[in-house]
Amino acid sequence: MTDKVSGFFKRLFGTEPAPAPTHSEPETPLEPIPPVPETVLPASAPELAPAPPESLPETEPAPPPPEPVPSQPEPRDTPEPPDAPEPPHRPLPPGPPETTPDYIEDVEDDLAASPAPVAAVEPPRQGWLQRLASGLKRSSDNLSTSITSVFTKRRLDAATLDDLEDVLIQADLGLETATAITETLRRDRFDKDVSGDEVRAVLAAEVEKTLGPVARPLVIDAAQKPFVILMIGVNGSGKTTTIGKLAQKFSHEGRSVMLAAGDTFRAAAIEQLQVWGQRTGAPVIARPAGADASGLAFDAVTQARAEGRDVLIIDTAGRLQNREELMDELEKVIRVIKKVDPTAPHATLLTLDATTGQNALKQVEIFGQRAGVTGLVMTKLDGTARGGILVAIARKFGLPVHFIGVGEGVEDLEPFAARDFARAIAGQD
């Protein structure tokens, strides 16, 4: 597999992978409010040229921000919208003429002259498997090296099994999975010769068994128009990027998608979503930074419904799960969405940054309690040796894992497949 994936490995790891999120970075002061359109950016009128394949939005230079930032601006204490939509918003500063016919024509000319946007490229299935293997290489190498170092003697004895259990726990797989693997080996191979490959096969089988039940696709109920997806998670966990990738997928499936820039705390997050909207042809509902997130969500659902959109994906500001007031604000967003459609949000997806390791367990617990998480997306499996945490999460919570991300590119997110993941993390070809 090494030869097969080396090109992708280089592509994925050509730059330093994101360090583990151990820091808290203060929210940088907001830049002056950019001219954010209050309503919809026409799909045909991108403000910016399409980004090159696999590049990040220029506006988000990817400082690995993995660890949540506790010191973001406090949520504004705006009253919950009544049964009518949010009161009129303050007038926007004059925006760029992105909706004027001249501008559209200019952009269309530019687009015609430029290479096809990244969205047009559909990677072959094999490409994804290679990326998955490359992405999980740090996790699998870590496990493989540790397993090899434990199996210095060929015969399986109690001490070796204990050491193996420690290795598996340190790889974030969780106590139960570690115990299940060592028990299988004790039962089948005790006092017999055992190779590293055999151990890896047992590891892959156990991981697949654990992940199989949670590998469930995100089903878009066509009866819901729009099918509302709320993206939540701690700062920098990959919400906005995942929204862009999902918008791409849904658009390719022929669905009409609308995005809502509900991370109103950060001007850069709004711009980032707008860039994704332009890339994927999805209109973006946005307001200037500092606007009330729940009011924006209300308007977005109302507008998506009026336009008969198939899918509405709402971004939210990143928030630490232990910040009460921010979790209160998230609950408010959900309450307000329900005023327009009591059945919404139809999916509440928690993005988990794999590099956070054990802290991800706490995030699932608290976000689950406060926001009713319906499914998980694990991002940044390429930037960590701690991919095993997904196994521990699956075993503890049993929540559906819909997608995993192994890179920043639009094609680096795929539906979660237990067998592929298990084989990749166990280092099996």
Ligand X SMILES: Nc1nc2c(ncn2[C@@H]2O[C@H](COP(=O)(O)OP(=O)(O)OP(=O)(O)O)[C@@H](O)[C@H]2O)c(=O)[nH]1
Binding-site entries: 233-240, 315-319, 379-382
At 414 the three-state DSSP class reads: strand
Q: Give CA–CA dist 317/209, Å, rounded.
A: 35
User: Of the ranges 41-49, 233-241, 298-306, 342-350, which one interacts with ligand X (CB under 6 A)?
Assistant: 233-241
Measured from the CB atom, is 60 or 86 closer to ligand X?
A: 60
Measured from the CB atom, is 251 or 379 closer to ligand X?
A: 379
The strand pair at 413-415 and 401-405 is best described as antiparallel
Site string for ligand X, 130-169 (x = CB under 6 A): ----------------------------------------
Measured from the CB atom, is 240 or 274 closer to ligand X?
A: 240
> Scanning residues 30 to 49, which ones bind ligand X (CB under 6 A)?
none
- Provide the H-helix boundaries in 267-318: 267-280, 293-306
* In the complex, least distance from residue 239 CB atom to ligand X, rounded to whole angstroms: 4
Measured from the CB atom, is 310 or 412 closer to ligand X?
A: 412
> Scanning residues 253 to 282, which ones bind ligand X (CB under 6 A)?
263, 266, 269
Among 117, 283, 388, 405, binds ligand X (CB under 6 A): 405
> Does the protein bind ligand X through residue 411 (CB under 6 A)?
no
At CA 343, angle to CA 342 and CA 344, rounded to 5?
A: 95
Among 30, 33, 48, 56, binds ligand X (CB under 6 A): 56
Measured from the CB atom, is 165 or 263 closer to ligand X?
A: 263
Q: Give CA–CA dist 365/305, Å, rounded.
A: 32
Measured from the CB atom, is 235 or 374 closer to ligand X?
A: 235
Among 24, 44, 52, 62, binds ligand X (CB under 6 A): 62
Per the DSSP assignment, residues forming a β-bridge with 312 are 228, 258
> Does the protein bind ligand X through residue 318 (CB under 6 A)?
yes
Measured from the CB atom, is 15 or 152 closer to ligand X?
A: 15
At CA 187, angle to CA 186 and CA 192, rounded to 5?
A: 65
Q: Give CA–CA dist 187/181, Å, rounded.
A: 10
Among 137, 200, 239, 339, binds ligand X (CB under 6 A): 239
* In the complex, least distance from residue 276 CB atom to ligand X, rounded to whole angstroms: 9
* In the complex, least distance from residue 18 CB atom to ligand X, rounded to whole angstroms: 6
Per the DSSP assignment, residues forming a β-bridge with 252 are none
Element housing 347 (H / E): strand 347-353
* In the complex, least distance from residue 354 CB atom to ligand X, rounded to whole angstroms: 8
Q: Give CA–CA dist 173/181, Å, rounded.
A: 10
User: Of the ranges 90-98, 116-124, 144-152, 229-237, which one interacts with ligand X (CB under 6 A)?
Assistant: 229-237
Q: Give CA–CA dist 257/49, Å, rounded.
A: 20
Site string for ligand X, 335-354 (x = CB under 6 A): ----------------x---
What is the identity of the amino acid at 147? I
At 388 the three-state DSSP class reads: coil
Q: Please, what is the angle between helix 137-150 and helix 125-135, to 10°?
A: 50
Measured from the CB atom, is 51 or 181 closer to ligand X?
A: 51
User: Of the ranges 35-43, 73-81, 202-210, 375-383, which one interacts with ligand X (CB under 6 A)?
Assistant: 375-383
Q: Cα separations (Å) of 367 from 26, 126, 331, 370, 393?
A: 22, 35, 10, 5, 13
CB 64 within 8 A of CB 383: yes
At 298 the three-state DSSP class reads: helix
Measured from the CB atom, is 24 or 148 closer to ligand X?
A: 24
> Does the protein bind ligand X through residue 379 (CB under 6 A)?
yes
Measured from the CB atom, is 11 or 189 closer to ligand X?
A: 11
Element housing 175 (H / E): helix 175-189
Which residue number has the CB closest to ligand X? 318
- Residue ranges of the annotated binding site for GTP are 233-240, 315-319, 379-382
> Does the protein bind ligand X through residue 387 (CB under 6 A)?
no
The strand pair at 227-232 and 311-314 is best described as parallel
- Cα–Cα nearest to 266, from 87, 65, 78: 65
* In the complex, least distance from residue 12 CB atom to ligand X, rounded to whole angstroms: 8
Element housing 359 (H / E): helix 359-371
Q: Cα separations (Å) of 293 from 199, 273, 315?
A: 50, 15, 9
> Does the protein bind ligand X through residue 406 (CB under 6 A)?
yes
Binding site for ligand X (CB under 6 A): 18, 56, 60, 62, 65, 233, 235-241, 263, 266, 269, 318, 351, 379-380, 382-383, 405-408, 412
